[in-house]
Amino acid sequence: MTNTSDTWLLKVEGLTKIYGEPNENSVRLTGPLFGSNICPETDCIVACADINLELFPGEVLGVVGESGSGKSTVVRLLYFDLESTAGVAYFSRYGNGTLNILNESGQKKRYMRNHLMGMVYQNPKDGLNFRFSSGGNIAEKLLMAGNFNVGRIRERATELLEQTEVPVRRLDDSPASFSGGMQQRVQISKAIANNPPLLFLDEVTTGLDVSVQAKVLDMIRTLQQELGIAMIVVSHDLSVIRMLTDRTLVMKNGRIVEQGLTDQILQDPQHPYTQLLVSSLL
């Protein structure tokens, strides 16, 4: 929700992920028109297809849709957790935005993950190693960015925990003993440890109780305003989308069915599915 400039930070074209063995009709015969993402001919699953998007520096983009709509798949492809079946993605902060980051080597992808991206998963277990302390989890990102000074690592970890309102005396405790909200905040500390220009948030408040949810959302907003990080926020919860994002993509059966300014999506939805989604909002 802060400054956006006139050039994209991330540009994605035709991003597709298919599980199983597709044939030439698989993409054509799936999607919202068919109400399914399972190919009737080969039974392959088209998790997402033909995803095009542009994210500007400092912009917050929402991705909303029901379970199985492919919204998490999109961010996991972009964070290299999954391998894409087709499509290209350019990242202006890597190779001047001329390289398809999805085709880079594992080593280069890891460089991007450690220096230029952050990810916060719905389940803290996916983003944190519970066998390490919270400080150790944050240290992992800092070590991989070439910081080999224990004193400075601890200073930075302390600073991050303060920023995310985790009691600093828990620095050396394993996040396994933390509450859900606190685990999520440690995960966020880790994700932003190297000041990345791009952050993915995958259902970060799902499963937290309402007061904790508000606290986490507020913290994300504040961090975003202060650090100007561009974010892709995945959620099935329209109030999270309303609170955090400038623009929103609506996904169904692995496709984008509508995109626009968030207030427009919420107040003047065009696609029948979006209208249904908005009208179901409590």
Partner 1 sequence: MIPSFKKFNSRFNFAFIDENTKREIRRKLLKAICLPGYQVPYSSPEMPIARGWGTGGLHVTLSVIGKDDVFKIIDQGSDASVNACNLRDFVHRVTHCRVTFDTHAATLIQTRHRIPEEQLNDGQILVFQVPQPEPLRAVERYETKTREMHGEADYARMWVSLYEAFVRYGDIMQGAGYPVMVNGRYIMSPSPIPRWDVPNLHQSDCLYLFGAGREKRLYAIPPHTDVVPLEFDDVKFRIEQFPGIRCSLSGTGGAFMDELYNDLGHFRHVINDSDFLDKLVEHKTRPQQWSNKYLQQVLDEMNANPDLES
Partner 2 sequence: MPPILDVRQYTKRFDMHVLNGKRIHALSNVSFSLEPGELVGLVGTSGSGKSTLMKSIYRTYLATSGAILYQSLRYGPIDLVRATDHQIIALRRDEITYCSQFLSVIPRVPAVDVVAESLFRQGIDRDRGQQQSRDYLDRLGLPQELWDAYPSTFSGGEQQRINVARAIIARPRLLLIDEPTASLDQRTKDVVIDMIVALKAGGTSVLCISHDRYTLDRLADRRIELQDGHVVAASEPVS
Q: Which residues bind partner 2 (CB under 8 A)?
A: 1-4, 6, 54, 56, 59, 214-215, 217-218, 221, 225-226, 242-243, 246-247, 259-261, 263-264, 267-268, 270-272, 275-276, 279
Q: Which is nearer to partner 1, 130 or 207 (CB)?
A: 130
Q: Which is nearer to partner 2, 172 or 226 (CB)?
A: 226
At closest approach, how far in Å is the CB of 229 from partner 2?
14
At closest approach, how far in Å is the CB of 103 from partner 2?
27
Residues 87-116 that bind partner 1 (CB under 8 A): 105-107, 110, 114
Q: Find tokens 């609170």 and name the residue.
A: 243
Q: Report CA-CA distances (Å) from 145 to 3, 12, 82, 139.
A: 26, 26, 22, 10
Q: Which is nearer to partner 1, 153 or 188 (CB)?
A: 153
Q: Does 136 bind partner 1 (CB under 8 A)?
A: yes
Query: Cα torsion at 181, 184, 189, 190 (round to 10°)?
Result: 150
8 A C-beta contact, residue 74 and residue 234: yes
Q: Does 126 bind partner 1 (CB under 8 A)?
A: no
Residue 74 corresponds to which tokens in the numbers above? 């999109």
Residues 163-182 that bind partner 1 (CB under 8 A): 172
At closest approach, how far in Å is the CB of 31 from partner 2?
17
Residues interacting with partner 1, by CB under 8 A? 105-107, 110, 114, 129, 132-133, 135-137, 139-140, 143-144, 148-151, 153-154, 172
